[in-house]
Amino acid sequence: MAEERRQKLCSVILPTESMKAMAESVGVGSLQEDSCLALSEEVSYRIKEIAQDALKFMHHGKRRKLTTGDIDHALKLKNVEPLYGFQSQEFIPFRFASGGGRELHFYEEKEVDLSDIINTPLPRVPLDVSLKAHWLSIDGVQPAIPENPPPVPKEQQKTDSTEPLKAVKPGQEEEGSIQTKGQGASSAEVKGKEKMRMKPRSTHELSVEQQLYYKEITEACVGSCEAKRAEALQSIATDPGLYQMLPRFSTFISEGVRVNVVQNNLALLIYLMRMVKALMDNPTLYLEKYLHELIPAVVTCIVSKQLCLRPDVDNHWALRDFAARLMAQSCKTFSTTTNNIQSRITKTFTKALLDDKTQWTTRYGCIAGLAELGHDVIKTLIIPRLSVEGARIKAVMDGPVVSNIDKIGADHVQSLLLKHCASVVAKTRPLPDMVDQYKVDYGYLGTMLCSHVVKARAQAAFQAQTVNRTTLTITQPRPTLSVSQSGLSTSSGSRAPSIIKVPSSLTLMSTRPGTPTQPSPPATKYIVMATSAGAASTQQVITLSSSQSGSPVTSTVPSTPTSLQPLVKLESGNTGAVSGSRPLQKYIVVSLPSSSSSLENKSSSVLPSSTSPISMESAVKLERSESPAANTQSH
């Protein structure tokens, strides 16, 4: 193979067309073929020479990647002026263009509007170089601390669990590290190695430190101090040395769920699910071996009849949603042809769903669990059931008041169904959306579904239009589930402020209603969010502009005023307020610390009157993408 490459190298020279193109670019009109050939050979040779010199600078710079700086230094060696304007540390994208029988590669430099740069908030100042010391090895043994790579790499764990036969052969590095543990290091080395291969390599005895750590972590995870819990979860999610403790953690979780389901201790269940989430987030762990304990625990939290003492007040729905998402995630990650997790889980859910006697809570869990598995599952398993479920909901809603709990349950199931089915139906069902037709197809839920689908469609069209035009930077905190005692919801804590990207054209949006000649799409959406770590509050601002609305409206959804500070001042003045002659625009500011339900309620109460359905949809979507960071007692 090397030979082939070498031969290729030998014959590679720049095409003569390039020479022509370059000659033209400096004003030499017609270049003879011979000259082109001579030039291209010469140029190719020089380029190779420079590249070889540049390689030296790369080696001495102790890098693996050749940078533009290396090329500059190599040119300097040859007394050639370096190339200016290529100062990127990273890959410089050359773009390709062709036309008129010409092919060109060029470096695209976009024109930059200075005012954009001026208006953009300054980026964070890069941190200065700093020095950090840690123990790479203590008396020949590498300690399992976050600074060191995990003792057993994830790949290894994976092969261990999925292909136990292969796993007996440790790699070369493994042998090295085994030797360092002092077993068979000296004369009988070879024998020692053989012996090691026979032994199972994951020891289940924990060192004193590990036992202490385990105790601390588990206590913090289920304790009352939220700050400690956040720290502990952070540790679980990032610490590379947890491999050996994994069996203990998984037992802890499964036992914990078993006990607390019986006691209906919602808070603890939520804590345990957050632990599962953290374990799954840990990039160094491969949980496959422990799914037999974790999955029943998670499924319990999805479908259990009762998860809390006051089902009418407590928000156990959020827990079900969260657990369902976890379930979907583990299905995605660990489902293989041998364990068939996804199909087994799907069967379980479907079976419960089909049962008439299933309680509303369990029904909700089943639907949530299925819905999280993806669009296909929704299409094949939930949508056909819509009419049946609709009838059931109708019976509760319109029928004699049986109990408040049932009513709440039915209500939740209804909104869940609508939420998940709308987008799928929007994709699969052909236009037009006739309410009557929907009623025929989906029964009781048809009417509402229809309006949801309309919104979903509008939303999709809207996104398709904007996708080419604006870069949308959305940074969202990972879904977290928290229980707030004080009513002030706390996010997971020490998350760095996310990037604030104020769209460059915030003030330049020119969406003239009623001028169809203008190709620019009528609406651009920006989401600006920031999480301020100190106040432990999430602020999120969604600005939305749409040309459809006749008058600029700013609808602000207020919530707990203590933590609410909209980041972007949004102007709602009439034409010519701040944006001068700008057309009407509408911004909606949504700040998130409010509970999801209140958000939904309020937005649904405010928005329909004042805004187009698009914004409504976005609010709904937002609510979905956010964590159920909700107050559990909000209902």
Partner 1 sequence: MAAVQDGQMELDAEKETKPEILSDGTSNLSGNTASGTLSSSPLTAAPAGGAPKMEDQQTLIAVLQFLKRNKLTDSVEILRREAGLGEDQEDSQATDGSGGGKGDVDGGDANSLLSRVSITSAAAPQSVIIFHSIIFFYSYRFGKVGGADDQPDVSVVLSAYSQQGDPSLYQVYYSGLKNFIESVLDCHRAELSQLFYPLFVHMYLELVYNNHENEAKAFFEKFSGDQECYYQDDLRVLCGLTKKEHLKGNEVLLDFRTSRFVLRISRDSYQLLKRHLQERHNNQIWNIIQEHLYIDIFDGMPRSKSQIDSMSGSLAGEGKREVNKAKVFHGLLKEPEIEVPLDDEDDEAENEEGKPKKKKTKKDSLGSKSKKQDPNAPQQNRIPLPELKDSDKLDKIMYMKESTKRIRLGPENLPSICFYTFLNAYQGLTAVDFTDDSSLLAGGFADSTVRVWSVTPKKLRKVKSAADLNMIDKESDDVLERIMDEKTASESKILYGHSGPVYGVSFSPDRNYLLSSSEDGTVRLWSLLTFTCLVGYKGHNYPVWDTQFSPFGYYFVSGGHDRVARLWATDHYQPLRIFAGHLADVTCTRFHPNSNYVATGSTDRTIRLWDVLNGNCVRIFTGHKGPIHSLAFSPNGKFLASGSTDGRVLLWDIGHGLMIGELKGHTDTIYSLKFSRDGEILASGSMDNTVRLWNSMKAFDEVETDDFTATTGHIHLPDNSQELLLGTYHSKSTPVTHLHFTRRNLLLAAGAYNSQ
How far apart, in whole angstroms, are the C-alpha atoms of residue 535 and residue 557?
A: 20
Q: 225-264 burial, b for 16+ CB within 10 Å, e for fewer? A: ebeebbbbbbbbbebbbbbbbbebbbebbbebbeebbeeb
Closer residue to partner 1 (CB): 190 or 208? 190
Q: Which of 30, 32, 130, 338 binds partner 1 (CB under 8 A)?
A: 130
Question: Does 60 engage in binding with partner 1 (CB under 8 A)?
Answer: yes
Residue with tokens 């307020």: 577
Nearest to 253 by CA among 233, 226, 239, 234: 233
User: Which one of residues 24, 33, 37, 56 is an interface residue with partner 1 (CB under 8 A)?
Assistant: 56
CA distance 196 to 39: 63
Whose Cβ is closer to partner 1: residue 80's or residue 227's?
Answer: 80
Q: Of 17, 116, 175, 411, which lies in the binding site for partner 1, with binding defined by CB under 8 A?
A: 175
Q: Among 126-134, 314-322, 480-488, 514-522, which window interacts with partner 1 (CB under 8 A)?
A: 126-134
* Segment lying near partner 1 (by CB under 8 A), choices 70-78, 212-220, 244-252, 375-383: 70-78
Q: Which of 21, 61, 201, 394 binds partner 1 (CB under 8 A)?
A: 61
Largest CA distance in the chain: 96
Under 8 Å between Cβ of 232 and 241? no
Count CA atoms closer than 13 A to 536's CA, side-chain side: 14
Cβ-based nearer residue to partner 1, 64 or 569: 64
Our CB check for partner 1 shows the closer of 112 and 127 to be: 127
Residue closest to 153 by CA, chosen among 347, 24, 283, 322: 283
Tokens of 515: 């001028």
Q: Is 545 left (phi over 0), alpha (psi -120 to 50) or beta?
A: beta
**Do 373 and 346 touch, CB atoms closer than 8 A?**
yes
Distance CA 5, CA 579 (A): 60
State the distance between the two ends of the chain, measured CA to CA, in whole angstroms. Answer: 68
Residue closer to partner 1, measured from CB, 142 or 264: 142
> Does residue 73 bind partner 1 (CB under 8 A)?
yes
- Supply 356's token pair: 């008439």
Q: Quick one: angle between helices 16-25 and 33-60, nearest 10?
A: 90
Residue from 127, 208, 401, 431 touching partner 1 (CB under 8 A): that is 127
Which of 15, 24, 37, 63 touches partner 1 (CB under 8 A)? 63
Which residue in the set 57, 271, 322, 587 belongs to the binding site for partner 1 (CB under 8 A)? 57
Using rule CB under 8 A, residue 124 touches partner 1: no
User: Which of 114, 118, 133, 208 is in the footprint of partner 1 by CB under 8 A?
Assistant: 133
In the complex, the smallest distance separating the C-beta of residue 597 from partner 1, rounded to whole angstroms, is 40
User: Which of the stretches 57-65, 159-167, 209-217, 333-341 binds partner 1 when contact is defined by CB under 8 A?
Assistant: 57-65
Q: Please report which residue ranges of 223-265 form alpha helices under DSSP H.
A: 226-238, 246-263
The residue among 157 and 538 lying less far from partner 1, judged by its C-beta, is: 157
- Tracing tokens 């470096």 back to the chain, one arrives at 107
The Cα 74–Cα 46 span in angstroms is 11
**What CA dihedral angle connects 112, 115, 120 and 122, to 10 degrees?**
90
- Choose the binding region for partner 1 from 69-77, 341-349, 396-404, 569-577 (rule: CB under 8 A): 69-77
170: contact with partner 1 by CB under 8 A:
no
Nearest residue (CB) to partner 1, 150 versus 369: 150
Among 25, 27, 34, 64, contact with partner 1 (rule: CB under 8 A): 64
CA–CA gap between residue 515 and residue 407 (Å, rounded): 49
Of 8-47, binders to partner 1 (CB under 8 A) are 9-11, 41-42, 44-46
Shortest distance, position 82 Cβ to partner 1, whole Å: 12
Q: How far is the CB of 46 from partner 1 (least distance, A)?
A: 7
Of residues 86 through 105, those in contact with partner 1 by CB under 8 A are 89
Residue 77 binds partner 1 (CB under 8 A)? yes
Q: Which stretch binds partner 1 (CB under 8 A): 185-193, 557-565, 573-581, 627-635?
A: 185-193
Query: Which of 56, 102 has the CB closer to partner 1?
Result: 56
Shortest separation between residue 472's beta carbon and partner 1, angstroms: 25
Whole-angstrom Cα distance, residue 446 to residue 437?
A: 8
| Residue linked to tokens 């583990």 | 330
Reading the block at residue 249, the tokens are 């953690």
Binding segment toward partner 1, per CB under 8 A, in 49-57, 270-278, 474-482, 619-627: 49-57
Tokens for 296, please give them: 């029943």
Tokens of 1: 């193979």
* Residue from the set 134, 166, 204, 357 that interacts with partner 1 by CB under 8 A: 134
Does 234 contact partner 1 by CB under 8 A? Answer: no
Can you tell me which of 114, 117, 131, 198 binds partner 1, judged by CB under 8 A?
131
Give the closest residue to 475 by CA, choosing from 495, 494, 456, 504: 495
Smallest distance, Å, CB 76 to partner 1?
A: 8
Among 37, 48, 551, 608, interactor with partner 1 by CB under 8 A: 48
Q: Shortest Cβ distance from residue 3 to partner 1 (Å)? A: 4
User: Phi and psi (nearest 5°) for 148?
Assistant: -100, 155
**Backbone torsions φ then ψ of 57, nearest 5 degrees:** -65, -35
The least distance separating partner 1 from the CB of residue 496, rounded to whole angstroms, comes to 14
For residue 103, the cross-strand partners are 98
Supply the DSSP string of 148-180, one letter for each residue. Answer: SPPSS-HHHHHHHHH-TTGGGS--HHHHHHHHH
Taking a C-beta distance cutoff of 8 angstroms, is the pair 298, 323 a contact? Answer: yes
476 CB neighbour count, 10 Å cutoff: 15
Size of the site for partner 1 (CB under 8 A): 60
Residue 185 in the binding site for partner 1 (CB under 8 A): yes
Enumerate binding residues for partner 1 (CB under 8 A): 2-3, 6-7, 9-11, 41-42, 44-46, 48-49, 52, 56-57, 59-64, 69, 73, 77-80, 89, 126-140, 142, 147-149, 172-173, 175-177, 179-180, 182, 185-186, 189
